[in-house]
Amino acid sequence: MAPYILLVEDSAAACELIEQAFGQHERAGALRTASDVASALAFLNHQADSRDADLPAAVLLDLKLGGEHGLQFLRQLRQDTRLNRLPVVVLTTSDDPRDIEACYRCGANGYAVKPDRFDDLAALVGDLCRYWLHWNRTASSAGKLC
């Protein structure tokens, strides 16, 4: 299976814009989506349990997910030994230093503020695709960290 990125985003409009931004790049088919924490965790658990399924190369996580908070997702992910090494980049509208600090404390691998202009969003998505789908290498199996 080709590498892909999982987007966890509850706003249909934001999801559509990010999908359009992915469409600007050769990795346009490399995006899967989940609209809330429960569906994202269900998808990841299925992928982790299936012999034929692959985990995403990275997760793009909106911080504010309706009634839920992206930090809940991060905490749950980091507590699951099958999923705790999965790279998570928070992609949100918040530039609040407290949110940034909280995300890194909970195990985020990156934090990016959603640009206002589509061209900038497309450039950001291109950079994320190049890094997470092409350049980055992940550990093949979970285990004890150093």
Residue 143 lies in a domain: no
Residue 14 lies in a domain: yes
CATH number for position 26: 3.40.50.2300
> How many structural domains are present in the chain?
1
> Tens digit of pLDDT for each residue in 39-95?
999 999 999 998 878 999 999 999 988 777 899 999 999 999 999 999 999 999 999
State the pLDDT confidence band at 27, using cuts at 50, 70 and 90. low
Looking at residue 28, what is its pLDDT?
A: 61
In angstroms, what CA-CA distances link 105 with 80, 98, 120, 145?
17, 10, 27, 17
Residue 140 lies in a domain: no
Looking at residue 103, what is its pLDDT?
A: 95
The region, left, alpha or beta by phi > 0 then psi within -120 to 50, assigned to residue 107 is left
Q: What residue numbers bound the domain in which 116 lies?
A: 5-135
The structure tokens listed for 63 are: 């911080």
Calpha distance 91→125 (Å, rounded): 10
Looking at residue 2, what is its pLDDT?
A: 82
Residue 75 lies in a domain: yes
State the pLDDT confidence band at 141, using cuts at 50, 70 and 90. very low
Residue 146 lies in a domain: no
Provide the residue type at 106 as one letter: C
State the pLDDT confidence band at 145, using cuts at 50, 70 and 90. very low
Residue 130 lies in a domain: yes
Residue 91 lies in a domain: yes
* pTM of the shown model: 0.90
Residue 86 lies in a domain: yes
Looking at residue 60, what is its pLDDT?
A: 97
